[in-house]
Amino acid sequence: MSIAQVAGMAVVGAATLHVSAAVEPGPVPASHEVPLFSVSKSENKNQVQYATKADDQCVPASGEPVYAYWRMFEQGASRTAPLLDREIRAYGIMSQRLLERGAKGGSARLTLRAMPSRPILVETSLMSDGTCQAWSTITIAGAPAHLYNVHVKLRWPIGVDYVLLQGWSMDGKHMVSEKLTD
């Protein structure tokens, strides 16, 4: 991925609308949001959060389970907002494909618009304590790792200085990172 591919992140603004969770009527299985990873920028505390929808058994929702939204930390810890149409180029999902829906989890392949050359494997699993866990596996510094954040360091007055991919090694014992520059 080149810096030019994520340069759009420097010029899109954050949405300011507050979103309330909607409840669908009828016998719809319980659905949970399971956080995956975030995108932070050097200009403020707001972040784009990527999450997946899963049922009580941690099975990903059919169709397109992964979605993105703003965490508006500048306005309060619980404030959220949808991505605006103009922000989709920088933060949107290019494609996602459900790979598996098992009895207690599943997987999907995700490609972000800003990082088309780095597909992400999203896996969910129901843990023995009843919690739903999710992992986003991507190549960082040449090896598979569990992604938790993409940090964009903006250049003044406009542009991207670098993009920092941050994750955990597959064994969970150490942090890995990769700094992407032009």
Residue 31 neighbours by CB distance under 10 Å: 12
24 in any annotated domain: no
Torsion of CA 141, 147, 148, 150, to 10 degrees: 60
Query: pLDDT tens across 62-112, in order?
Result: 999 999 999 999 999 999 999 999 999 989 999 999 999 999 999 999 999
35 in any annotated domain: yes
Query: pLDDT tens across 144-175, in order?
Result: 999 999 999 999 998 889 999 999 999 999 99
Is the pLDDT confidence value at 5 over 50?
A: no
Q: Give the pLDDT confidence score for residue 24 in this predicted structure.
A: 34
103 in any annotated domain: yes
Is the pLDDT confidence value at 28 over 90?
A: no
23 in any annotated domain: no
Q: Give the pLDDT confidence score for residue 30 in this predicted structure.
A: 53
25 in any annotated domain: no
Provide long-range contacts, Cβ within 8 A and 24+ apart, for 97-100: 98/60, 98/62, 98/63, 98/64, 98/65
151 in any annotated domain: yes
Q: Give the pLDDT confidence score for residue 159 in this predicted structure.
A: 87
- State the residue range of the domain holding 57: 3-18+30-180
Q: Give the pLDDT confidence score for residue 47 in this predicted structure.
A: 97
Is the pLDDT confidence value at 178 over 80?
A: yes
Domain total in the chain:
1
84 is written with which tokens? 């605006």
Residue 101 gets the label, from left (phi > 0), alpha (psi -120 to 50) or beta, of: beta
Confidence of residue 12 (pLDDT cuts 50, 70, 90): very low
Q: What is the mean pLDDT of residues 46-50?
A: 97
82 in any annotated domain: yes
Phi, psi of 140 (to 5 degrees): -130, 125
Among 15-29, 55-69, 109-123, which is the least confidently predicted range? 15-29
Return the sign of the alpha-carbon dihedral for residues 113, 51, 139, 47. positive
